[in-house]
């Protein structure tokens, strides 16, 4: 009786321990992401609007050539402090699908603030065909979809290094220190001077990486500031109520000795 379950149990335990060990070994092989100070971290975090605007410039000029952001509309850019005029101009510079014409043929038109971001490819097959078979993932929620969040995006941008000795990088793949498995289909998208910042900030690789990660964080968490303000107000209210109920309790029980 005892022996019949002892063996499978021991086997299961062994497997678990081995899997745990393997997982830990993999974690150890992945170097720690650089420690970046994010304006949006912590309970009082806010978006660094200047950085998010520069990040949008990087995304718009570089990343949008391959990546979509299907859940974002041009008018949502008000959240990083762009004015209605700026948003109108950005939207109008894009070409989006229009109504079919009288012959039923597809047409295009300039974008409007209410349009979602223009797509880089007409469909996923076209996207794969242009990227060696790999699909550039949609960026709407990418910060929330990856362990490490904004720090991972930042690391991925600066993580293109020479492969360690003995590691062969096949054609069409690139070595990245922070990408799980290290071999990625995306060529290094950024380098010093990839953009000329509208606000005059020096466009180093590190600056561009931090800015684009800030913008992508905003895209994934557009309501972060309201959420945190609400949290702070609720905690304040609860603290106040705590004081009031304590006062009331003392009052009520004051005569009982």
Interaction of residue 77 with ligand HEC, rule CB under 6 A: no
Interaction of residue 80 with ligand HEC, rule CB under 6 A: no
Spatial separation of the C-alpha atoms in residues 115 and 131, rounded to whole Å: 26
- Least distance from C-beta 42 to ligand HEC, angstroms? 23
In degrees, to the nearest 5, what angle opens at C-alpha 72 toward C-alphas 71 and 75? 145
Tokens coding 255: 């005569």
Spatial separation of the C-alpha atoms in residues 76 and 69, rounded to whole Å: 12
Of residues 63 and 72, the one with the C-beta less far from ligand HEC: 63
Interaction of residue 184 with ligand HEC, rule CB under 6 A: yes
List 189, 214, 217, 221, residue binding ligand HEC (CB under 6 A):
189
Stretch that binds ligand HEC, among 64-72, 79-87, 106-114, 223-231 (CB under 6 A): 64-72
Stretch that binds ligand HEC, among 37-45, 62-70, 160-168, 233-241 (CB under 6 A): 62-70
Spatial contact of 48 and 217, defined as CB atoms under 8 Å apart: no
Spatial contact of 96 and 114, defined as CB atoms under 8 Å apart: no
- Least distance from C-beta 217 to ligand HEC, angstroms? 11
Spatial separation of the C-alpha atoms in residues 151 and 26, rounded to whole Å: 19
Interaction mask 140-159, ligand HEC, x per CB under 6 A: --x---x------x--x---
Residue that the structure tokens 């895209």 belong to: 219
Give the interface with ligand HEC as residue ranges (CB under 6 A). Answer: 58, 62-63, 65-67, 131, 134, 136-137, 142, 146, 153, 156, 184-186, 189-190, 212
């Amino acid at each position: 009786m005892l022996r019949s379950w002892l063996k499978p149990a021991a086997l299961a335990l062994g497997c678990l321990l081995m899997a745990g060990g393997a997982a830990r070994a993999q974690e150890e092989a992945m170097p720690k992401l650089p420690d970046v100070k994010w304006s949006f971290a912590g309970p009082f975090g806010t978006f660094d609007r200047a950085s998010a605007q520069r990040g949008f410039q990087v995304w718009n000029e570089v990343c949008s050539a391959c990546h979509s952001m299907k859940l974002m509309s041009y008018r949502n850019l008000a959240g990083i402090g762009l004015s209605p005029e700026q948003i109108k101009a950005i939207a109008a510079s894009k070409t989006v699908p229009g109504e079919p014409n009288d012959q039923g043929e597809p047409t295009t038109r300039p974008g409007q603030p209410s349009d979602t971001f223009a797509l880089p490819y007409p469909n996923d097959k076209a996207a794969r065909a242009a990227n060696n078979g790999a699909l550039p993932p949609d960026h709407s929620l990418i910060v929330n979809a990856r362990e490490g969040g904004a720090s991972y995006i930042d690391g991925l941008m600066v993580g293109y290094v020479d492969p360690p000795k003995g590691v062969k990088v096949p054609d069409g793949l690139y070595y990245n220190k922070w990408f799980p498995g290290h071999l990625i289909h995306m060529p290094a998208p950024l380098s010093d001077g990839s953009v000329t910042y509208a606000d005059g900030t020096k466009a180093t690789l590190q600056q561009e990486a931090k800015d684009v990660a800030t913008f992508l964080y905003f895209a994934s968490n557009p309501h972060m500031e309201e959420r945190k303000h609400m949290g702070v107000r609720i905690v304040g209210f609860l603290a106040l109520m705590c004081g009031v109920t304590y006062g009331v309790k003392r009052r009520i029980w004051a005569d009982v000795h």
